[in-house]
Amino acid sequence: MNIEIREITSENLKEVLSLHVSETQKSYVESTKQCLKDATECNCYRPTGLYQDGIMVGFAMYGFFPDEDGNGRVWLDRYLIDERFQGKGLGSIMLEELITHLIKIYNCNKIYLSLYEDNQRALHLYQKFGFHFNGELDINGEKVMVNVL
């Protein structure tokens, strides 16, 4: 199995816009169209396509967000596996690849994300990879999780 994380370009834009989650998951993650709009409004975001054997199966958007102290945080802000490819273990495979990717490009020792606590599937996945709640809430009221690497 060949796994790749590719930047979103004009060549794969149509593919990324066709990705979607199930109806029951839509309240947990923004559409890829909204994510790309957010990325144009904030240059900290890096939207990417997640590929298995040359096929886009998911989407992630991450970035480094500086703070007032000159430090900052690496955030895995958006993450989804397309509905058609769920239930095949790709959530774990892609998350492991993303964590490795973020460590490599940002040389970080912590990765942050946030989620609604009732998103039990995502919560279980993130906990499996060592993420835990840190007591913070993000600007949308989601609980912040951190993975200390």
Tokens of 28: 């947990």
Instruction: Find the catalytic residue in 45, 62, 79, 126.
Output: 126
Tokens of 45: 């975001």
Please answer whether residues 115 and 122 qualify as being in contact, where contact means their C-beta atoms are separated by less than 8 angstroms. yes
How far is 45 from 146, CA to CA, in rounded Å? 18
| Rounded (10°) CA dihedral 12, 110, 130, 114 | -60
Q: Name, in order, each residue with C-beta under 8 angstroms of 41's C-beta and a sequence gap of 6 or more.
A: none
Is 79 one of the annotated active-site residues of the chain? no
Tokens of 29: 């993650």
Q: What is the 3-state secondary structure (H, E, C) of 27-55?
A: CCCCCHHHHHHHHHHCCCEEEEEEEECCE
Q: What positions carry a catalytic annotation?
A: 126
